[in-house]
Amino acid sequence: MKKLFFLFLIIPFLGFSQNTISQNLFTNYDNYKETSLKNRRFKHNDIQPLIAKLKETKGFEVNELGKSIEGRSISMISIGSGKTNILLWSQMHGDESTATMALFDIFNYLKQNKEILKNIKIHFIPMLNPDGAEKFTRRNAIGIDINRDAVQLQSPESKILKAARDSLNADFGFNLHDQSKYYNANRTDKPATISYLAPTYNYEKSINKTRANAMKIIVVMHTIIQQYAPGQVGRYSDDFEPRAFGDNIQKWGTSTILIESGGYQNDVEKQYIRKLNYVSILAAIHSIGTGSFENAAINKYEEIPKNDRKLFDLKITNLTFPYLGKSYTIDLGIKHFEKENKKHTVFYNMGSIVDIGDLSTYYGYKNIDANNLKFKIGETYPKIISDFETFKQLDFKKLLEQGYTSVSIDSLPKEIKFIEYPINIIDVRNISIPKNNTIPKPPVSLGNNPNFLLTKNDKVVYAIINGFVYDLSKNENGVINGIVK
């Protein structure tokens, strides 16, 4: 009788165990976060001291697998002694660094938590494409997309990954990428913060035991992510790509899981998404170690909404503007593009109008309904400001309320391209006089940097500066940077 009672207590808890594990990982994350990695543009040099320290850490093995085209080392870090081999690799695309940050958080976790390693041995290759990371670009030093080189192996980085997989004959593989922040979960306004794929291994998209296991792991991870980013999970296209690593590694018998880190509201440096990677990857590893993933309902994989690409940074609907004597009502889609410095370490945002017309099938991270608001072209403050110090003293809110979206500065250093203020700067040296007898351009047009005002009863409600929104009715400044024109 006593024994039975004990069983009743235990059974419900078994069902929740995966839940409890991920909750603990989420709650205690800050204890393990690798604080030296702060933003997406870290380089090979930044992770070498961390790898060197792991080499000295009990239980960790570090092996240099080879070098990139430009001679940067590519290392594999292994831990555990179980029979099941798990291989994870990140950043084969140099500008996709979110998961690399998470891997270093996971190392910190594994230094202190060895129980997860029962039955498994884990191998990590962080930053497979260090030359691409140096320039924060997708491809490697000779312009090859490593993820189209799984068969021909024309790049040393590809050879390294293939050799690692083959030498381990890994049971499970995690292929860690980033995707555009403009991906959304199909027919919803929710960004696809994380997208998953169990890549197929043939054009027929067959499901064998290898792929089925990958699908089950994804079901486990998907359930977890839904708690921390509800609705923000997508399923990546499963069209067969015969040259890609995911598809081939699945074919070679390693249950392969693709994880794509997308966008999340107000998470420019993807630190929350990094945390979601940490939680879900560790939970997945745990489920492999215990075998609990076997119980996941595989049909739930198909229930994950497909990826779509229908997001803008800012969507403005029902915008009416005058042009050539008539007025037109349209929707506007605005995106921000990152403009980097020469060292690829920092960037500023350049707003751009990327679509005009009926955008009812699209969504925005931020949305404005301009119905009942009046369009007004932003003007340049008539007085030329003498220097940057004087500029900083300006009352920007007041200038916006008066309809000014830019100011001129007399002696601005040429190298300044942007300012962290809610206004743009017009460099008087760059002003050209428009030619006569030409048809004027519409006040909004494709590719333009969006700067205008939306007014109600002659009062400015929203100032759109470099595609960002300053909400004057609420005094909310959402402008990350203005630009110098």
Binding site for Zn ion (CB under 5 A): 93, 96, 177
Q: What are 248's two structure tokens?
A: 């081939």
Strand, helix or coil for residue 265: coil
Helical axes 2-27 vs 271-290, angle rounded to 10°: 150
CB of 177 to Zn ion, least distance (A): 3
Q: What are 126's two structure tokens?
A: 């962080």
* Contact by Cβ (8 Å): 185, 308: yes
| Residue 181: DSSP 8-state | T
CB of 93 to Zn ion, least distance (A): 4
Residue type, 306: K
- Which is closer to Zn ion, CB of 182 or CB of 452? 182
The number of helix segments (H) and strand segments (E) in the chain equals 11, 24
How far apart are alpha carbons 198 and 211 in whole angstroms?
6
- Which is closer to Zn ion, CB of 85 or CB of 195? 195
CB of 387 to Zn ion, least distance (A): 45
- Which is closer to Zn ion, CB of 96 or CB of 105? 96
Q: What are 16's two structure tokens?
A: 């929740």
CB of 211 to Zn ion, least distance (A): 20
Of the candidates 270, 349, 292, which has an alpha carbon nearest to the alpha carbon of residue 102? Answer: 270
Residue whose C-beta lies closest to Zn ion: 177
Of the candidates 325, 244, 274, which has an alpha carbon nearest to the alpha carbon of residue 42? Answer: 274
User: What is the Rg, in whole angstroms, of the alpha carbon atoms belonging to the chain?
Assistant: 26
CB of 170 to Zn ion, least distance (A): 20
- Which is closer to Zn ion, CB of 145 or CB of 269? 145
How far apart are alpha carbons 332 and 7 in whole angstroms?
60
CB of 66 to Zn ion, least distance (A): 21
How far apart are alpha carbons 31 and 48 in whole angstroms?
21
- Which is closer to Zn ion, CB of 96 or CB of 149? 96
CB of 43 to Zn ion, least distance (A): 18
- Which is closer to Zn ion, CB of 97 or CB of 455? 97
* Contact by Cβ (8 Å): 179, 98: no
- Which is closer to Zn ion, CB of 142 or CB of 377? 142
